[in-house]
Structures are given as C-alpha cells and as structure tokens.
Amino acid sequence: MYYTVSEVAKRLELSPHTIRFYSKEGLLDFVERDQNGNRIFKESDFERLFIIASLKRSGMSIKQIREFTILCDKGDSTIADRLKIIMDQRETVEEEITKLQDALDVLKYKTWLYEVALEAGTTAVHDNMPPEKIPPNIRKIKERIRKLTDDMEQRYKAAAQHTDNDE
C-alpha cells in the first residue's frame, strides 16, 4: 500500500508544500520514487515521518533534523550519536517549557491586574493597593519586577563607588 504526498501531508497535519520542502532539504531521502519520479510513501516509512514531525514540533531546526537523519541512514554505528542528539533536545525542550511557564506566571499577573482595574474602571486602583489585598502568586511577580529595578540601582551605586575609589 503506497501513499502520496497529499495523503501523508494530511496525516501529519502539514501542507504538501511543506512536505516537498522538507524533502528538498534532505529530510526524506529514504522515501522511494515510482517510475515517474513521484514519491511513494510506505507504511514502513511512517514511524520515521512521525519522528521527524515530532522533532520539528519540539522546535528542532531543519538543519539539525537533517544531521539526525544522516546518522539514521548510516546504521548501527551511530546509535550513541543519535541518542546524544535526542537527549540534548530533551533538555532544550525542558528549558523551553520552563521559560513558557515563567511567561505564563507573568500573564496570570497581568490578568489579575486588569480584572481588578476593569472592575474599578481605572488602572490607578493599583497605585495604593495594600499588600494584603494582593494574592501571593501575584505578589511574587511584583517582587520580581521590584528586584529588577533594585538590582539596577545596586549596579549603579557600585559603579559610582568604583569611580570614587579611582579618584
């Protein structure tokens, strides 16, 4: 049973253009062709296609995926190298998730700010907000922002001090 570019594209939720682009970039060299040069995808190709799509979704660049597929084609001698690539990408993705969760905390902070401001009719409601009226997770972000400014001042004072010593 063979499948065409369009069928595979639908299944991987990519456009046929994108599949051909990946092919041109050397990601699909394992896919056979018929006598007219048309790509013929087999069931046995699906695990690899799925892995390539997953690596892409994980944020891996096409260049990196190509390097990986080259190793795959070289056979058993490259298993350790492939394992390293996968484990490095695991770390990259974990870092990316942490970054996004961090950004999510800030979005939650802003949501609270705007919900309170919407009810009050003005963002000025936050100007003299007593700390006990601020939820703990929101206070945490406020603290981070305050720290950003404080560190800045600290840096400035240290530089000024340094200048004093030089004089």
Partner DNA sequence: ATAAACCTTAGAGTATTCTCTAAGTCAATA
Partner DNA sequence: TATTGACTTAGAGAATACTCTAAGGTTTAT
Count residues near its own copies (CB under 8 A).
Answer: 55
* Contacts (CB under 8 A) with its own copies, residues 12-41: none
23 binds, among its own copies, DNA, none (CB under 5 to 8 A by kind): DNA
Closest CA to 9 of 44, 39, 33: 39
* Contacts (CB under 7 A) with DNA, residues 39-68: 39, 56, 61-63
Instruction: Give min distance, CB of 12 to its own copies, in A.
Output: 8
40 DSSP β-pair partners = 32
User: Binding to DNA by residue 38, rule CB under 7 A?
Assistant: yes
17 binds, among DNA, its own copies, none (CB under 5 to 8 A by kind): DNA
Per-residue HEC secondary structure of 42-96 comes to: EHHHHHHHHHHHHHHHCCCCHHHHHHHHHHHHHCHHHHHHHHHHHHHHHHHHHHH
Closest CA to 8 of 25, 26, 28: 28
For 22, the token pair is 């990946």
User: Binding to its own copies by residue 158, rule CB under 8 A?
Assistant: no
Count residues near DNA (CB under 7 A).
Answer: 22
User: Binding to DNA by residue 117, rule CB under 7 A?
Assistant: no
Sign of CA dihedral 132, 136, 139, 140: positive
User: Binding to DNA by residue 109, rule CB under 7 A?
Assistant: no
Residues engaged in binding DNA (CB under 7 A)? 4-7, 15-18, 20-21, 23-24, 35-39, 56, 61-63, 163
